[in-house]
Structure 1
Amino acid sequence: MSTKTFSRTALALWSLLGALAGLPAAHAADAAAPAAAASAVESPAAAASAPAAGAASERLVRNGLMVDFTMTPAGKSKTLMEGDFADVVFAIKDADGKAVRTSAPGAWLDMAQVLGGRPEAEQKSCKDKISLYLKGAIGIRPMVDLNSHYVVLMNADASIAVVDPTVSMAGSTSTLASLVLKSPGSDWVPVDRLRRLFVTQPKAGAVAVVDTENFKVIDQLEAGKQPVRVVLQPDGRFLWVGNNANDEADSGVTVIDTESAKVVGFVATGMGHHEITFSADSRFAFVTNRQSGTLSVIDVGTRKLIKQVATGAQPLSVGYSALSQAVYVADGKEGHVSIIDAQRHVVTRKVALKPGLGPLRVSPNGRFVLALNPREDLVSVIDTASQEAVHDIAVAGEPFQLNFTETYAYVRAMHSERVSMINLSSLGKGLNPAVQYLAIGSQPPAAPGGVAIADGVAVAKGDGTVFIVNPSDGNTYYYMEGMSAPSTNYRVYGSSPRAVTVVDRSLKEVQPGVYSGRVRIPAPGKYDVAFMMQSPAVLHCFTATAIANPALESQLPKLAVEFVTKQREFKVGETAAVRFKLTDPRKQEPVVGLKSVTVMSFLSPGRRRTEIPATEVEPGVYEAKVGLPQAGGWYVHVSVPSMKLGYKDLGFYSLLASESPVAKAGGAAVAR
């Protein structure tokens, strides 16, 4: 299958771009709506409004539509500055000033008139640049893509792989980054607002902090003994980590401030594994204690334990419904779900189901509680309006994981390759649940090494796009709701994924007709802010300018590496001529005459390491001959000992060696 995929939004934008492609060159940067509107010109009222101090502001008026663009500093800085966060907002109205709601518009930021922020790149019009971005070609990416999401895979070993699902090369997925942890991960949570991913590592007693702007591990937080489950409270301020310690004094929850990425407290709650949920207003945290048979209620503001609620012999999972303002706890041994009033913290009812209950979650609208029963091969459904059980849905193969989109509940079974998709609109008393099935590979997920506590199903926000990992075959499957089967799958060679999450970069509708996204400004200079919407059709480039950050100039690396090799796939036994350019980030000039450049190649996950000298073949361009004696994924790292730069200091390049002949593909690759 092809690994080049797009979300519904990207597909729609691609279709629109095709419709606009026939416009005269004079309209390339500001394409008007097609068909009857194609000849319309921009109204004089569309002149850019005066930008606010330190911000960018511009208004586009065309064909009865008004788009107000602003880009404002999001932090303490009063001006748009390199390295700082900024909020990009598009407010869309009609001629009467009423909000216009549309499918999510597309937006990209890149240096004005260049590609990927590279001054030597070929000059392109706004329309041409968007066309290239949508093609998903390696080396031709915007500096900031406000339509994107990245697929992040937790491997069975102590590593994480990051995949850009919109980029393909030579028929293989683009591995954007590979991160090394202290020990294998257990659970994680992305905080997209802050460009952070927090990963628990039970054996290391730590939580890794990953910068999802550059995909690097930037810190390791000591997070108590056996940190396993991690959950973000609804307002996003604190992370709560469940500590499955053997000693009662160390068993509870560690609290992490997401703003400072620092541990701010610990609350001992009871013995056993801990699951965590919150009231909608983030006032209370509710923590289960499996061995103690209790639910701990914690005041989030004071981080003090205020009550222990007995819920049964073996509380395994917990969920909260804002609709009923109640907490639901599934007891695996006694087979009931306790319903706790979220304000009074008392059990108001117990719904009798069957022993063997496991994971429990609440639907996004709060209407239904779904509880899995691996022992009985069942999914039990409780209607939160009546607090009664309304369905027992058969799911064969020991159901063990549950995830939601707005439309479906996705149920994974340990011993079946099929994912059961339960249509949420078919649930309720007197209705017959509608279930359809989705085959994910040909093997069930139960495999040597097991599955992670983190989810094996991840949802890309807003467009019904789902990613599902199958640990047995090592593939991650891409599914778009409405299709009969996954449209493609991803394979990161040398990795063994057990869980998947999505780092979201897309615009969100924060008010009717107002779309917003937060970006980190990658470099100083003048930016094209390309904007595209489907209906009515609009394509326009706004402008924003960011100043240099004096604090970052001193932190620039000594060298930057860009791999210019075009071919990634080879036959076993061939030699790859890997070329890369070394530049001075301060001067943006090639560095010539280096005599100590070496590369290290190895077969994933770290075998057959070989060091090879690189020679300068053009000014600032160096080449190393890398042998590929064995099939698999190979990695090539660069070092420059004379500048005290080791293999971990510069980017890497990946190659694939296979037994069968491969097609040779074009396109430069940029190390990140």
Structure 2
Amino acid sequence: MKLSQRYAIVMACSVLLLAVTAISCRKHKMDDMGMSEKNIDYPAAYVVNGESSTVSVINLTTNTVTETIELMSAGGSMAMWPHHASLFNIFDVNRISIGVPGVDLSAGHSGNMGDMKGKVIVLDGRKGTIIKDMEVPVMNHNAAFSPNGKEIWTSQMEMKGKVLVYDAQTYALKNTINVGMEPAEVTFSADGTRAYVANGGDNTLSVIDPATKAVIKTIPVGANPVGAWVGYDGKMYLDNEDGKSISVIDVASNAVVQTIPLGFMPGSAAHNAARKELWVTDPENGKVHYWTWDAAGNQWIHGGIFTTGAGAHAVAFTNDGNVAYVTNQLAASVSVINISDHSKIKDVAVGKKPNGIVIKQ
């Protein structure tokens, strides 16, 4: 064999070896980033860990963490301080959208960071992979799927507040809606007829028609509202951080029908239709307060308090309303609660500063 032929063979083998090595390294890198496909085909809670920039997947049958999804872009950069999540799950379509403000909101949601940009990350909930990592012009709190799953709505926390509406398939910007000052969470009513934006800068709640994208009413509420959380009784439950209260909003009349004084800064509120209870987390004391519905008085009355963990924040109920999962930001855990007697089943260790949580069943 001629020297030139030997050289050509050696070079060809070297190129092949480099190619195989590159593919192998790329695969390992993708695995390290949490981008390898998983098989989350079981009922699960997805917990967004702000400081760890991960999502812990809790199997609802065993109440153990079975997967950890790294929120890292294809370029290798971490999502800084992911916050709240939204789930769209129908048939084989399982998508989770996450708002990434880029700052730690565990001590409260007020105040923006000037020119700080935000992100929207979309996950395939079954495969555990990132579908889209998209930057938005200004920091945001959450990224909410519209009720039909065709759009993603996210606020822009600036003085002249806006809500950006993106196509959930192409991720093209469809609409820009002007709302109040420094808007925080974007949420939807249970029947899908209304969208709500809590404007922390001017203590108002913008009510939007999701079909026309028009603001149909602006409601004065308590000081520094954060999110109007969905009720399954024709109401929305708005937590006012500085006002230390809950504004109960009637969806049909666009009016505040009850203001619940708390005496503590709320983390979030959650309505359990099956048990007719309203839960409000108390982050500073690591507890959850619950209210029960008084049909005779047509109002919520305080029912009791129980302990979860330091920095109690978000609540998610199972479909039957019998079990709750509460994220504890300062304890790096999720408390599993038996709702029948409000006893703790167990604490599940997750990532650092868990906040948002959604359940797929």
TM-score over 0.5 (shorter chain): yes
Q: Using a 3 Å threshold, how does the CA distance of structure 1 residues 342 and 425 change in structure 2: closer, same or farther?
A: farther
Distance 1:348 1:338 in 2: 8
Does residue 462 (structure 1) correspond to residue 320 (structure 2)? The answer is yes
Aligned to 2:5: none
Q: Which runs of 5+ in 2 are unaligned?
A: 1-31, 34-38, 103-112
Letter in 1 for 2:101: N
Whether the 8 Å contact between 2:267 and 2:281 is mirrored in structure 1 is yes
Q: How many residues align?
A: 302
| Residue 231 (structure 2) aligns with | 363
Q: Deviation of residue 339 (structure 1)?
A: 0.7
Partner of 1:478: 337
Q: What's the secondary structure of 2:180's corresponding residue?
A: coil
Equivalences for 1:243-282 in 2 at 5 Å?
243-245=100-102, 251-282=118-149
Structure-1-length-normalised TM-score: 0.39
Equivalent pair of 1:321/1:362 in contact (CA under 8 Å): yes
Deviation at 1:227, TM superposition (A): 5.0
**Code of the aligned partner of 2:304:** L
Corresponding residue of 1:378: 245
Shift, 1:248, TM fit: 6.5
Matching residue of 1:343: 211
CA 1:294–1:209 in structure 2 vs 1: closer, same or farther (change >3 Å)? same
Q: Distance in 1 between matches of 2:295 and 2:123?
A: 39
Instruction: State the Cα distance separating 1:501 from its structure 2 match.
Output: 6.5
Distance in 1 of aligned mates of 2:232 and 2:254:
17
- Check conservation: 2:236, 2:251, Cα contact below 8 A: yes
2:153 corresponds to 1:299: no
- Quick one: distance in 2 between partners of 1:394 and 1:218? 38
In structure 2, the residue matched to 1:220 is 70
Q: Which runs of 5+ in 1 are unaligned?
A: 1-180, 183-190, 506-672
| CA offsets 1:250-289 (integer angstroms, 9 cap, x no match) | 6231222335433233333331232222322112221112
- Name the structure 1 match of 2:25: none
What is the CA distance between 1:393 and its match in structure 2? 1.2
**CA distance in structure 1 between the aligned counterparts of 2:68 and 2:289, rounded to whole angstroms:** 38
> Residues 234-263 of structure 1, C-alpha deviation per residue, up to 9 Å, x if partnerless?
535322122224896962312223354332
**Cα distance change of structure 1 residues 489 and 226 upon mapping to structure 2, 3 Å threshold:** same
Deviations 1:188-246 (A, max 9, x none): xxx97456665545556x54575849954465352453151332225353221222248
> Tell me, what secondary structure is at the counterpart of 1:400?
coil
In the TM superposition, what is the alpha-carbon distance from 1:379 to its structure 2 partner? Answer: 0.8
C-alpha separation between the residues in 2 aligned to 1:490 and 1:260? 27
The CA deviation at 1:370 is: 0.9
Structure 2 letter corresponding to 1:319: T
- Cα 1:437–1:418 change in 2 (3 A) is farther
Shift of 1:400: 2.0
CA distance in 2, matches of 1:334, 1:285: 24
After superposition, residues 610-621 of structure 1 pair within 5 angstroms as none
Contact 2:100 2:142 (C-alpha < 8 Å) held by counterparts: no
Partner of 1:434: 300
Counterpart amino acid of residue 410 in structure 1: W
- CA shift for structure 1 position 375: 1.6
**1:328 equivalent in alignment to 2:187:** no
Query: What residue is the counterpart of 1:238 in the other structure?
Result: 95
Output the CA distance in 1 between the equivalents of 2:360 and 2:123.
Answer: 21
Partner Cα distance (1:459, 1:339) in 2: 25
Contact 2:230 2:270 in 1 (8 A): no
Q: 1:357 to 1:282 in 2, by over 3 A?
A: same
Contact 1:419 1:437 in 2 (8 A): no
Instruction: Please report the RMSD computed on the Cα atoms of aligned residues, expressed in angstroms.
Output: 4.1
